[in-house]
Structure 1
């Protein structure tokens, strides 16, 4: 009965948040605090309970597993990722430690641990924000996730050192896991599609990664991430990620409810959370400055820094294990940072457009290798978004003898055989440096409506007079795209049906009567 009530309340608060133009997770947090405050008066427990905590843990494991499926491990060793993560952690830990010792008179060891917990950024919020905008594999998304993973590894190291436990000798077997990749690939191929694929992902994330790593004294979160990384290069890794999407989202509701139900704050806890909320922008500003220092352009530095602004749920894990008296103040701090950061991340592109002139002055003259200008050469057809739809359009134009070029924000889709280049079409600066003089027509095959709108506006602003055709998933996307300057929209599922019908008609015409 308890689970039925809390899920119903979470749904109502999630709907309320959506109506207020806030992410549903803000509503889930509010639902958790409401249940904590008023649950006992209606016969409900005030804490999350073992079942909700277990479901929350499973949701986090699946989230980290799906992140691993989309991550290139080599990106963690990039100077911008490693350097920004380490420098930010050291500077913020130093500043927070000094403040906690001076203003709260905390013991030095307690202040250091609490400062480290506050230095981390939220993996759950950043991953959800970037995933919802399809930006996990954009440059700023890859940098942000890499920084978060390094922070999480530091958090796990802190827990190991101060928790008084260490991995067992069997933990060394983890280094042999890459040898199991052929077996994992075989399992992926054998599972094929649908429910077996979902079950395989759950088993690898929860049983092998989570439980297996815990059995040898390692973090279950790291285990789930590692299992995802082992499968990241499989051709159907993205299909597995999409198959787990719904299950992961439902389980993560428990995580946000659990944060809200961690406890009711007193005046000191509220004051602490308020002060930390005031200091919250400093995290984002420091990340922005560091990314700029590593030659990242202002737009990607801004989007990456903003996604890393919220305080981390890993701070709660550290507090629960080492600083139990700080669990409630940190829970309020993390929740408040979510309430502030989530809406800002939702309008991140609009915020950058508003402050673009000011932020561009911070850029360095030299650029990161991933942000070099794209040369379209003599191409006359441009395809934006190189998923299945984009590649199908590219091949069609190419087979018709048209000079075609494709652009995608995922560097893994760069193709030397086809003329496919890396570029973030949501980046206004990208369009300022793109020569489209020879382009006659543009096909918009990106999955997100916002990216299509940005690309269309920038093309028309640059004086493009050719045809712009956009593939859409829902009919209500047609009107805003046409208002932005799209000449024609094409409902993708309808197009698939027409294609099947055409093939059927051709076969009938060629068959004997």
Structure 2
């Protein structure tokens, strides 16, 4: 059975990727195909899916700072959205066959957005740490916290008083830090991450809280360690494999009938209204139209959490059993529609920009763009390891250089180190239009996403930028495309590393040979003098 699940998921994911869709859409379709041919989910698949979600939320916790939840745009947008949707749900389900509680719980749970899809899309595009990525992530976590109380209402259970003990996890941080530092081997780091994620989930279940929240809190406990990026990278492939089981599980749920399909379509028709509501709220708190649009699009889905609440509501006899299949298909279709839209969110905004920017508030925006670069002659966009290395190289030669990055935490750390950096999202077309580039000699683009690098080059050329443009490529097909768009030079980091290593080795060998020749020459001269 396991071979059938994995093989079908792979083939469907391969087809989806060839159609420029995320593989997770293929996993969903694989689940429905297996459902149609009579394959059923069992406890093994459910258990694998649960592990996948716990690993996902654990890795999210690794990058989370609790202070991010206290930002004005997070509290105001997240809270207002939930309150508005709750009020509307109460009106819609007020007379729902006398089952007001069940209808209200389902209605509120549909206000939640898919944590899995949003995080996966943001991680794949390298935007999880950007300003809007952090806002989206914080709102999703706020929704998860509210979800705990909603589940308690749905199943009429209260968390154990011992649940407050989970708040003591941060006090175990020194021990967790020591364990991670002591785990020098890669396989040990991977095992430690899995152990902590599962331990957090188990502790949460024991005190009557969702295992997902426990895994998240365990990740928050480790956040801030110097090796956290390495641990997150080690967990990436394992997490992706287990998450395939989650999407298969959705598809293997019962398929609704014709009447229920109509209700599914009605639910899907409400999704654009949710997106519009998020967009309006983001604008009201002072974000620019672009940030509000891409953030809203990432949140315009139904959450996999609705699958959990529908199951609990049905088991409590608050709604008919058919609602499980209705919610399951609605969530699956919302993910299938939202995935490709989020993939091209920046392109969509470029098309809609003239209409959307008119709704921006005339205030000092929270995500304001820089309008000055001082006397900088070179710009380094993307202050990761490669970007910082380029910045240092310019700085050591007393060349005036300025770094740009979309990650507020990265900027804060670099400013503390005395580096000249400013906020700037390279995929934002307005950034390049506002920056005074007349005196800039060259721009180095080191962002991980190919779409970000290629769109930046295209925008710079459209603005008739005459300076040099240097960038990276990680695949052979990217190099020709980047040159075609107008890049001055393109390097492959791994190929260049090999070349430099060989050159250094040859130089060392040459110097060693010269030293040996000198020693031989000196020995010969000494021998002649003795004679």
**Which of the five TM-score ranges fits, normalised by the shorter chain?**
over 0.9
> Which of 324, 328, 349 in structure 2 is aligned with 1:327?
324
Residues 154, 309 of structure 2: 8 Å contact kept:
no
Inter-CA distance 410–215: structure 2 relative to 1 (3 Å threshold): same
Residues 280, 309 of structure 1: 8 Å contact kept:
yes
User: Deviation of residue 57 (structure 1)?
Assistant: 0.5
Partner of 2:465: 464
Partner of 1:389: 386
Residues 55, 215 of structure 2: 8 Å contact kept:
yes
Unaligned runs of 5+ in 2: 316-320, 517-531
Partner of 2:100: 108
> Which of 64, 70, 90 in structure 2 is aligned with 1:77?
70
Residues 385, 407 of structure 1: 8 Å contact kept:
yes
Q: Render the CA deviation track for 1:151-208: whole Å, top value 9, x for unaligned.
A: 111111111233232233332322222221111111111112421111111111112x
Residues 288, 367 of structure 2: 8 Å contact kept:
no
Please give the residue correspondences for 1:211-226 in structure 2 after superposition, counting only pairs within 5 Å: 211-226=202-217
Unaligned runs of 5+ in 1: none
Partner of 1:366: 363
Question: Once superposed, which parts of structure 1, at least 4 consecutive aligned residues long, lie more than 4 Å away?
Answer: none
Please give the residue correspondences for 1:47-446 in structure 2 after superposition, counting only pairs within 5 Å: 48-101=41-94, 105=97, 107-207=99-199, 209-324=200-315, 325=321, 326-373=323-370, 375-414=372-411, 415-416=414-415, 417-446=418-447
Q: Render the CA deviation track for 1:270-329: whole Å, top value 9, x for unaligned.
A: 111111111111111110110011111111100000010110100111111223422111
Distance in 2 (CA, whole Å) between partners of 1:193 and 1:60 is 25
Residues 30, 260 of structure 1: 8 Å contact kept:
yes
Largest Rg, 1 or 2: 2
Aligned-partner SS, 2:379? strand
Aligned-partner SS, 1:383? strand
> Are residue 487 (structure 1) and residue 488 (structure 2) matched?
yes
User: Deviation of residue 488 (structure 1)?
Assistant: 1.0
Residues 383, 393 of structure 1: 8 Å contact kept:
yes
Aligned length: 504
TM-score normalised by L of structure 1? 0.95
Q: Render the CA deviation track for 1:428-453: whole Å, top value 9, x for unaligned.
A: 12222212222111111111111111
Inter-CA distance 106–378: structure 2 relative to 1 (3 Å threshold): farther
RMSD (CA atoms): 1.6
> Are residue 22 (structure 1) and residue 10 (structure 2) matched?
no
Inter-CA distance 374–238: structure 2 relative to 1 (3 Å threshold): farther
Distance in 2 (CA, whole Å) between partners of 1:164 and 1:235 is 42
Residues 31, 248 of structure 2: 8 Å contact kept:
yes
User: Deviation of residue 424 (structure 1)?
Assistant: 0.8
Distance in 2 (CA, whole Å) between partners of 1:364 and 1:309 is 22
Distance in 2 (CA, whole Å) between partners of 1:17 and 1:162 is 36
Distance in 2 (CA, whole Å) between partners of 1:82 and 1:392 is 37
Aligned-partner SS, 1:382? strand
Distance in 2 (CA, whole Å) between partners of 1:182 and 1:175 is 15
Distance in 2 (CA, whole Å) between partners of 1:369 and 1:286 is 19
- Tell me whether 243-252 or 149-158 shows the greater mean CA deviation: 149-158
User: Deviation of residue 51 (structure 1)?
Assistant: 0.4
TM-score normalised by L of structure 2? 0.92
> Are residue 7 (structure 1) and residue 10 (structure 2) matched?
no
Q: Render the CA deviation track for 1:491-510: whole Å, top value 9, x for unaligned.
A: 11011112222332343344
Inter-CA distance 193–350: structure 2 relative to 1 (3 Å threshold): farther
Distance in 2 (CA, whole Å) between partners of 1:231 and 1:368 is 33
